[in-house]
């Protein structure tokens, strides 16, 4: 802002009642510094005009350097364009660094001129410091909001691929024109895993540039920053910085951020970028740990389930297992099929209380004990008694289980199935004509009481009939306060009467999952036994 000051002749000489110096000081102190956000500019203008009047300066200027890359910027001036000369007085403005400022006056170095100039510089310094503090507070609040939003978004994802894709999207365009995430691929290698650019059309060009940089001279620098714990600044043509991604003392990779060309630099941007890198590294590490736990749980769960189901003459078998939504803990649901020495088959499905390694241990124990005892020819009451004694002594977990013994089909294709329910849900019988009912007699869960009772129940499967076993994860599937429940399961099964066992199990699984959009709280297991005798006759 430039304004030529015309000072009325004899303005100060006319004041004879008080010394001219006192009037000048009073005039400078009466310049109003209050106002809106533009107050420093207006105040600088008014203060400089007053200072020029009381000192008789021919010209004056106030410059401020806000450390934003623009250098010293004139905030107010009067008189002809000034050049620093011997007749120019310079008064530094007292403001916290990195800001600086000064008042320049084209006047002789009189005592009063210096006193008045220093007074003006002090007053303007207070106003400028207030502006700096306001801007710093606003900038801090803005960055804190950005970091809070970034943390919330990063915390919502435990998928490592999604997290890797999210990180550069958070950085661009707030902290840079482009961003790339490199993760460690071996002890001394980095692999580009995700990138983003403010202009999506320029992303292929960016990827080519990054590839050239990585395989060229910049490769050594990027490898160095992987082994370093500090930030590295990149020069043109890739103006920006490389920040190591470190979480829990482990170097995960590097975050590369390219600055906006020609844009003024925020003094806090490097500190904010380092903070984002720390949060991103922690999110990536959390996702990595979660993925490792999920894989371990998946591997352990698969080891607790039969890899394939046996082929039983005239019978069809179908089974489905769905882990809980997080997938990081081994569930307690299981199923298995084994064979008696006399050739009969035993189907079992169960649910061990709890989740995790302890539940998996009990699951494996129950399955293996049943297999060993059955192959040794033990009758099922003895099997239940042995299992109950073992679990009751451990007092860690209890178990519900349903067993079904299959006899060979008779001449008419009918199959006798003997069921035993140790605290387990009743299986659903689906007749060939679609009639649905529950079967079995409820007994005592294993591991709760010193003695158990599991009465047998007989079901005759006619050709086309099916018997559905399931765990409570199916019926307890929730949608708000509503449950999938036994009635919905029966209604679904009724519509599936003409399907083979594999298809029935798959459809029941899909129906339970599609019932609700809520995360699945419990694992679920489904096992379908169907008499395919009639289907076999029709295909012959």
Q: Pick the last residue of a domain from 254, 269, 299.
A: 299
C-alpha to C-alpha distances, 404 to 210, 262, 374, nearest whole angstrom: 62, 76, 12
Q: Identify whether 173 is part of a domain.
A: yes
Displacement of CA 376 from its chain's centroid (Å)? 51
Estimate to the nearest angstrom the gap between the alpha carbon of 81 and the chain centroid: 58
Are 294 and 416 in the same domain?
A: no
Q: Sign (positive/negative) of CA torsion 375, 378, 379, 384?
A: negative
CA distances from 403 to 2, 83, 99, 156, 455 (A): 95, 100, 80, 42, 11
339 in the same domain as 437:
yes
Alpha carbon dihedral 359, 365, 366, 367, in 10-degree steps, equals 110
In a domain, 141, yes or no: no
Task: Please report whether residue 110 resides in a domain.
Answer: yes
Helix (H) or strand (E) holding 69: none
Q: Quick one: pLDDT at residue 1?
A: 36
Whether 145 is covered by a domain: the verdict is no
Residue in the structure block whose two tokens are 């507070």: 137
Q: What is the pLDDT of residue 264?
A: 59
In a domain, 101, yes or no: yes
User: Which two three-digit tokens encode residue 191?
Assistant: 């692999």
Task: State the CATH number of the domain containing residue 510.
Answer: 3.60.40.10
Count of domains observed in the chain: 3
What is the per-residue pLDDT for 83? 65
Looking at 278, 299, 320, which one is the last position of a domain? 299
Q: ∠ CA 75-80-84 to the nearest 5 degrees? A: 75
Q: Are residues 329 and 393 in the same domain?
A: yes
Say which residue the tokens 């510094």 belong to.
33
Are residues 484 and 368 located together in one domain of the fold? yes
Residues 285 and 358 in one domain: no
From first to last of the 540 residues of the chain, give the pLDDT tens digit.
333 333 333 333 333 344 567 788 888 888 887 655 555 788 898 999 998 888 888 899 999 998 877 889 998 889 887 665 557 889 999 999 889 999 999 887 678 788 899 999 999 999 999 888 888 888 888 888 888 888 888 888 888 888 999 999 999 988 889 999 988 876 667 788 999 999 989 888 888 888 777 666 556 665 666 566 678 777 766 778 888 898 988 888 889 898 877 665 666 788 888 999 999 999 999 988 888 888 887 787 788 888 899 999 999 999 999 988 666 677 789 999 999 999 899 999 999 988 877 888 888 889 989 999 998 888 898 899 999 998 998 877 899 999 999 999 998 999 999 999 999 999 999 999 999 999 999 899 999 999 999 999 999 999 999 999 999 999 999 998 899 999 999 999 999 999 999 999 999 999 999 999 888 888 899 999 999 987 665 665
- Whether residue 193 lies inside any domain: the answer is yes
Long-range contacts from 151-158, C-beta under 8 angstroms, 24+ separation = 151/279, 154/279, 154/280, 154/282, 154/283, 155/283, 157/283, 157/287, 158/286, 158/287, 158/290, 158/291
Examine the domain organization and report whether 272 and 315 are in the same domain.
no
How many whole angstroms separate alpha carbon 161 and alpha carbon 287? 9
Q: CA 140, 143, 144: angle at the middle one, nearest 5?
A: 85
Same-domain check for residues 351 and 498 = yes
Partnered with residue 60 across adjacent β-strands are: 78, 105
Expressed in angstroms, the distance from the first to the final Cα of the chain is: 100
Query: The domain containing residue 266 runs over which residues?
Result: 157-299
The 3-state DSSP class for residue 473 equals: helix
Instruction: State which H helix or E strand residue 58 sits in.
Output: none
Q: Could you say which DSSP state residue 202 is in?
A: G
Radius of gyration, alpha carbons of the chain? 40
Q: Over 374-416, what HEC string results?
A: HHCCCCHHHHHHHHHHHHHHHCCCCEEEEEEEECCCCCCCCEE
Of 124, 152, 165, 149, which Cα lies nearest the Cα of 39?
124
Distance CA 170, CA 308 (A): 45
Q: Full-prediction pTM beyond 0.85?
A: no
DSSP result, 42-70: HHHHHHHHHHHHHHT-S-EEEEEE-SSSS
pLDDT at 35: 55
388 and 353 in a single domain? The answer is yes
Residue 33: CATH number of its domain: 3.30.450.40
């Amino acid at each position: 802002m430039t304004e030529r000051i015309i000072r009325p002749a004899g303005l100060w000489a006319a004041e004879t009642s008080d010394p001219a110096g006192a009037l000048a000081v009073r005039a400078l102190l009466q310049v109003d510094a209050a106002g809106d956000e533009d107050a420093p500019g207006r105040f600088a203008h008014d203060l400089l005009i007053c200072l020029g009047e009381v000192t008789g300066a021919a010209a004056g200027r106030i410059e401020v350097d806000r450390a934003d890359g623009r250098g010293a910027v004139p905030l107010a001036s009067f008189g002809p364009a000034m050049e620093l000369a011997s007749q120019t007085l310079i008064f530094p403005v007292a403001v916290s660094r990195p800001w600086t400022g000064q008042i320049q006056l084209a006047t002789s170095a009189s005592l009063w001129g210096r006193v008045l100039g220093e007074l003006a510089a002090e007053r303007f310094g207070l106003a400028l410091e207030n502006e700096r503090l306001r801007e710093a507070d606003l900038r801090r609040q803005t960055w804190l909001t950005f970091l809070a939003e970034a943390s919330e978004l990063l915390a919502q994802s435990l998928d490592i691929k999604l997290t890797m894709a999210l990180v550069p999207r958070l950085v661009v365009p707030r902290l840079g024109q482009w961003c790339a995430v490199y993760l460690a691929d071996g002890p001394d290698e980095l692999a580009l895993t995700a990138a983003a650019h403010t202009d999506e059309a320029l992303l292929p060009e960016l990827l080519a540039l990054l590839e050239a940089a990585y395989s060229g001279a910049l490769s050594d620098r990027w490898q160095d920053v992987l082994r370093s714990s500090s930030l590295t600044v990149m020069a043109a043509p890739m103006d920006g910085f490389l920040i190591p991604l470190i979480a829990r003392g482990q170097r995960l990779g590097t975050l590369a951020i390219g600055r906006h060309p020609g844009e003024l630099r925020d003094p806090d941007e490097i500190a904010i970028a380092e903070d984002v890198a720390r949060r991103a590294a922690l999110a990536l590490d959390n996702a990595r740990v979660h993925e490792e736990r999920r894989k371990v749980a998946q591997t352990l769960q698969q080891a607790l389930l039969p890899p394939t189901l046996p082929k039983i003459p005239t019978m069809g078998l179908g089974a489905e297992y769905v882990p809980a939504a997080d997938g990081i803990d081994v569930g307690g649901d299981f199923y298995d099929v084994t064979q008696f020495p006399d050739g009969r088959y035993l189907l079992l499905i169960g649910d061990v209380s709890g989740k995790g390694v302890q539940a998996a241990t009990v699951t494996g124990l129950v399955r293996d004990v049943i297999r060993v005892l059955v192959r040794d020819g033990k009758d099922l009451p003895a099997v239940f008694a042995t299992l109950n004694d073992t679990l009751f002594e451990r007092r860690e977990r209890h178990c519900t289980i349903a067993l079904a013994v299959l006899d060979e089909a008779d001449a008419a294709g009918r199959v006798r199935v003997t069921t035993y329910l140790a605290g387990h849900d009743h299986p659903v019988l689906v007749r060939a004509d679609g009639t649905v009912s529950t079967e079995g007699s409820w007994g005592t869960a294993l591991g709760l009481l010193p003695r158990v009772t599991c009465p047998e129940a007989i079901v005759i499967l006619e050709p086309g009939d099916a018997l559905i076993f399931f765990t409570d994860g199916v019926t307890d599937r929730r949608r708000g306060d509503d449950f999938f429940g036994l009635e919905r399961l029966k209604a679904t099964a009724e519509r599936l009467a003409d399907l083979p066992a594999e298809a029935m199990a798959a459809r029941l699984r899909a129906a339970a999952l599609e019932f609700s959009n809520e995360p699945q709280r419990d694992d679920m297991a489904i096992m379908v036994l169907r008499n395919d005798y009639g289907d076999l006759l029709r295909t012959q």
